[in-house]
Amino acid sequence: MKNFLKRIIWISLISFCFLQIKKVHAIVPTYYFPTKKNLQKQSLNIGKNAYQLLYYGQYKDSLNLAKLAVKLNAKDEKLWLILAEIQIANKKYKNALDSLNKAERINANISEIYFAKSNIYLKISQQTKAKSALEKGIKIEPNNHKAFFQLGNIFLMEKNFLEAIKLFDKSIKIKPNFWQAINNQGLAYFEKSNINLSIKLFKSAISIQENAEPLLGLASCVRFNDPKLAIKLAKKALAKDPKYVNYDYRKEQLWGEKLQASTEILLQNEQLRKDVILAKSKLIESS
């Protein structure tokens, strides 16, 4: 009898312990470990979200998200490109170049890498490197009208007007209604003292888009032979975009010395005095 009771007690203890173990196991949480594929997918979504934040002007938040995206997936060149663009917006140019170099090591056959590099080099006044980067990008994407336009602008800065005109021609051949390239040809020809051709080009640009720049450029061209038209055009240009009243702003738009001198004389005309004062006051209000 004693032995029988001992067995019962022993079996009961074992059963109790077994049940307790099962109960303990039942409350242990299970963890989900994402696969490499899922992490990569999430990193791209994070990168896209970072880009959206950049679009809405949230530069710091977008930078933090972009950094997280490349940490999750450092082998995706698209994420490095997104990070570089956000770094440029945050004026972290050295960091942006590092990001673009990493993207290039992953895939050197992406034109956007070199176009972004050229943008940075221009911001830090390294025109030779900017030209080299643009030329690499154009080799990959030979039908990019904006790249030819930007390369032409660099030659315009360097006062190599003939080369600038050739490059603007290439841009226009790719996109015939690209008024900016037509306008900048007008700028280049004015510096070469070919005013008649500048007039033709500024008129052509205006026929595509009545922008303040070709309007004022044309006004400066015709002030010699048709002062009434020059005044009319200048008034319209300043009303459309008051920034063109400013010498330094026009210089940023690559206006050469000859055109600048002609425009300054035009803007001193008494008939434009009120328009000039109004344009300057608008600039002060917006600053």
Domain boundaries in the chain?
177-287
Task: Of 135, 129, 177, give the one whose Cα is nearest residue 152.
Answer: 135
The CA distance from 183 to 218, in Å, is 10
Residue 159 has a CB neighbour count (10 Å cut-off) of 11
The answer for residues whose C-beta is within 8 angstroms of residue 177's C-beta and 6 or more apart is 208
The answer for residues whose C-beta is within 8 angstroms of residue 73's C-beta and 6 or more apart is 39, 40, 43, 44, 79
Among 35-49, 142-156, 227-241, whose mean pLDDT is lowest?
A: 35-49
User: What is the average pLDDT value for the chain, to the nearest integer?
Assistant: 89
pLDDT at 19: 43
pLDDT at 231: 98
- pLDDT higher at 59 or 159: 159
The CA distance from 101 to 115, in Å, is 13
pLDDT at 39: 63
Whether residue 254 is predicted with pLDDT greater than 60 in this model: the reply is yes
The pTM of the full predicted model, rounded to 2 decimals, is 0.83
Domain 177-287 fold is 1.25.40
pLDDT at 56: 83
The answer for residues whose C-beta is within 8 angstroms of residue 160's C-beta and 6 or more apart is none
- For 160-215, how does the pLDDT look when each residue is reduced to its tens digit (9 = 90+)? 999 999 999 999 999 999 999 999 999 999 999 999 999 999 999 999 999 999 99
Contact assessment for residue 120 and residue 93, using Cβ atoms and an 8 Å cutoff:
yes
Whether residue 58 is predicted with pLDDT greater than 70 in this model: the reply is yes
pLDDT at 50: 85
Contact assessment for residue 169 and residue 162, using Cβ atoms and an 8 Å cutoff:
no
The CA distance from 70 to 62, in Å, is 13
